[in-house]
């Protein structure tokens, strides 16, 4: 896919309706709502995810972050949370993307690829035809306690760029993005979107000043 000059912004780890609206006011076009995870920040209850999703206007994408690996589990979770997008943070091991499509018409599917090396390129190319977008993050699924996001680490952007160049669907870049490196991220990877969490937070709370500076640096880049 071709590089994008001004990426869309997804603000992840949204913890309240107030944070959702603060992100939207700043210019976010997508919000990440984190359900139960083996590790990492931002987890909220499914009832709160549903409340936030219901309060967000339709042009904004609401991402349900799920660690589910079973299609039936993911379908049931989305029906409880009512988001318009599902972000699959681990690999599907039971059921298929086709099962998800049939059960959730109109719901976008975003697959996370945790960039660890050359094998991540092969995984991305295999998955891309079945989903609406990829999200490249810096987790590690091979640890005893899986890391499925929110690590604050930057991965190898040269691999991310190669993935972006070879897939035909939108690509979000996540992992350690902050105001000081957003310009380099755009230059090196050219993603459709950027996914923010810790870089725009102070003591776990969404920091509107940091978010505003991030947007300023991004536009300047």
The residue ranges of every structural domain in the chain are 8-220
Q: Which CATH class is domain 8-220?
A: alpha beta
Query: How far does CA 38 lie from the centroid of its chain?
Result: 17
State the number of CA atoms in the 13 A half-sphere of 169 facing the CB: 18
Count H helices and E strands in the chain, helices first. 8, 10
- pTM as predicted: 0.95
| Angstrom distance (rounded) from CA 211 to CA 97 | 34
Average pLDDT of the chain to the nearest whole number: 95
Q: Is the pLDDT of residue 142 over 80?
A: no
**What are the tens digits of pLDDT across the range 162-209?**
999 999 999 999 999 999 999 999 999 999 999 999 999 999 899 999
Neighbour-count burial of 82, counting CB atoms closer than 10 A to its CB (0-12 exposed, 13-18 middle, 19+ buried): middle
The phi and psi torsions of 85 (rounded to 5 degrees) equal -145, 145
């Amino acid at each position: 896919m071709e590089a994008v000059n001004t990426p869309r912004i997804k603000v992840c780890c949204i913890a309240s309706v107030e944070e959702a609206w603060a992100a939207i006011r700043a210019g976010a076009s997508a919000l990440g709502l984190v359900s139960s995870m083996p590790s990492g920040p931002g987890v909220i209850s499914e009832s709160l995810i549903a409340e936030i999703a219901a309060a967000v206007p339709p042009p904004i994408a609401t991402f349900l972050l799920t660690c589910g690996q079973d299609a039936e589990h993911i379908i049931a979770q989305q029906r409880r949370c009512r988001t318009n997008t599902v972000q699959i943070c681990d690999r599907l091991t039971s059921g298929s993307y086709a099962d998800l499509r049939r059960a959730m018409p109109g719901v976008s599917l975003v697959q996370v690829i945790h960039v660890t090396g050359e094998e991540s390129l092969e995984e991305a190319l295999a998955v891309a035809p079945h989903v609406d977008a990829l999200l490249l993050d810096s987790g590690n699924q091979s640890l005893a306690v899986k890391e499925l996001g929110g690590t604050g680490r930057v991965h190898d952007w040269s691999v991310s760029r190669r993935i972006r160049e070879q897939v035909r669907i939108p690509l979000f870049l996540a992992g350690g993005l902050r105001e000081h490196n957003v310009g380099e991220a755009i230059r090196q990877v050219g993603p459709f979107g950027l996914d923010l969490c810790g870089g725009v937070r102070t003591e776990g709370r969404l920091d509107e000043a940091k978010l505003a500076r991030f947007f300023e640096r991004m536009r300047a880049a």
